[in-house]
Amino acid sequence: MGRGDLTNAEWARLESFLPPGGARGGRWSDHRRVINGVLYRVRTGVQWRDLPERFGPWETVYKRHRRWSADGTWKMLLSRIQAAEDAAGGIDWDVSVDSTAVRAHQHAAGARKKPSALDAQKGNGRGDEPGRSGAAETGLPPGGGGQIGECLGRSRGGFTTKIHLAADGRCRPLAFVLTPGHYGDGPQLEQVLERISVPRSGVGRPRSRPDHVLADKAYTSRSNRRYLRRRGIRHTIPERLDQQRHRHNRGSQGGRPIGFDREHYKKRNTVERAINRLKGFRAVATRYEKRAYIYLGTVALAALMVWLRT
């Protein structure tokens, strides 16, 4: 077993969820070896062609990662592990929300704008930008939509992609969304929280509502607060100074001050620590993939390893 490979305990937790394979003439080669190959690449950020020979043909490893990113296998495994943790009472439902910008390598640019026959099956091909501060068309998996459809945004430093995520109180990602790097944080709050879905171990709908949400001033809009109140979610979000001045200037019509628990807000650093854990994987800290759905699969695999090893 090499450094960073799945341990026997981690493999035992994943093996039962994977499709059967490995038999002669079967569809799949050895799952554990291929997953270790994907993990090696995600951890080190090397080119696929430079994978060590112990993982088998690099084409097999890459194609498995691409396929499982497209059909949601990585996200399914993450969901199963989250469900097991929730059943054991291991999830702290004080959820923190934030985002991080990821520099896109020059190799991440240049994806075809018109979807091929394979990409047409994977995504809807929509690429129109709904606005710099609007919600991005980031359904899984997108493809063939140009820069915006592939979640590549322009900035002074070049191409960037932004990961918006919600983390539980133990610094583990619960849900995440990709947008171009120039998109605002606040308008993505609703989309990120809607992605939280932890299945129950028995009967019942998946759990999707946190006990409490913590976020910084970027999420302090009225629409976000209305959305949280509508869902019955308690929240701790500071108010911006310009909002405070506007409320004071209106006098009695400005309404009551926003409730803010300063001590509870100190727990918001959990999402920052979750981001640090994700960016410990070099293929997450720098985006190399042209297609957004493949990079989303890379983030999902990194999040899965965070859950397995925390």
Whether pLDDT at 69 is above 90: yes
Residue 138 pLDDT grade (very low, low, confident, very high; cuts 50, 70, 90) = very low
Residue 27 pLDDT grade (very low, low, confident, very high; cuts 50, 70, 90) = low
Whether pLDDT at 216 is above 60: yes
Reference 159, options 232, 81, 104; nearest CA is: 104
Mean pLDDT, residues 212-220:
94
Between 89 and 136, the more confident residue is: 89
Whether pLDDT at 120 is above 70: no
Whether pLDDT at 156 is above 80: no
Lookup: tokens for 149: 């459809």
Mean pLDDT, residues 216-226:
92
- To the nearest whole number, what is the mean pLDDT of the chain? 86
Quote the pTM value: 0.86
Q: How far apart are CA 205 and CA 236, in angstroms?
A: 26
